[in-house]
Amino acid sequence: MNLPDPDAAALAARASAWVRRWSHLVPSQGRVLDIACGSGRHLAWFVQQGHPVVGIDRDAAALAVIALPPEHCQTMVADIEGSSWPLNGQRFAGVVVTNYLWRALLPTVIESVDAGGVLIYETFAAGQETIGRPSRPEFLLQPGELLRACSTLRVVAFEDGFEPDAAGGAGRFVQRIAAVREIPASQPARYVLP
């Protein structure tokens, strides 16, 4: 789908390279949930790919500026750290989380991936405190932590290390995963590696 708003197209272009790389694993036209979606760069990316999207964030002002067609994009203001999960029982073809960690929510995030769906997760890891923010341990994944959290899913890709900044900045310590909830089948699924 071409985004009619040039600002929305520019927003989609800012989607994480990891999210763009693994977004083909989301079943065609499957609904995608972006947790802690901020200004909606991944919402815009997935709408551009033909997916209906749901974005959740506690920042009402950030959600208010998302200019995506309402028939394709639903946003929800919710404090997912201080109150109950607002999407109980709902499953999604894709669940996306970037630059956000709330450990108590990890089981719910993983449970939100529907059969045949994919979790695409990318956030800061231990070591980041040596070069910048975030620096508090509760916001930094420990080595292999994301991999262990996704033990009920099939991991297609996982990275845990340091990513230099191409522009010469400090870089960042990061963990990323793309993991699917497999559907039992007589033939092995083919998760294409880009």
Taking the C-alpha atoms of residue 24 and residue 70, their distance in angstroms, rounded to an integer, is 23
Residue 112: pLDDT band (50, 70, 90) is very high
Taking the C-alpha atoms of residue 90 and residue 46, their distance in angstroms, rounded to an integer, is 18
Residue 189 has pLDDT above 90, yes or no: no
Q: What is the pLDDT of residue 35?
A: 98
Mean of pLDDT over the chain: 92
Q: What is the pLDDT of residue 3?
A: 57
Q: Which CATH class is domain 6-180?
A: alpha beta
Share of the chain above pLDDT 90, in %: 78
Contact 96, 51 (CB under 8 A): no
Burial class (CB in 10 A: 0-12, 13-18, 19+), 67: middle
What length does the chain have? Answer: 194
**Domain edges within the chain:** 6-180
Share of the chain above pLDDT 70, in %: 96
Q: What is the pLDDT of residue 11?
A: 80
Q: What is the pLDDT of residue 194?
A: 83
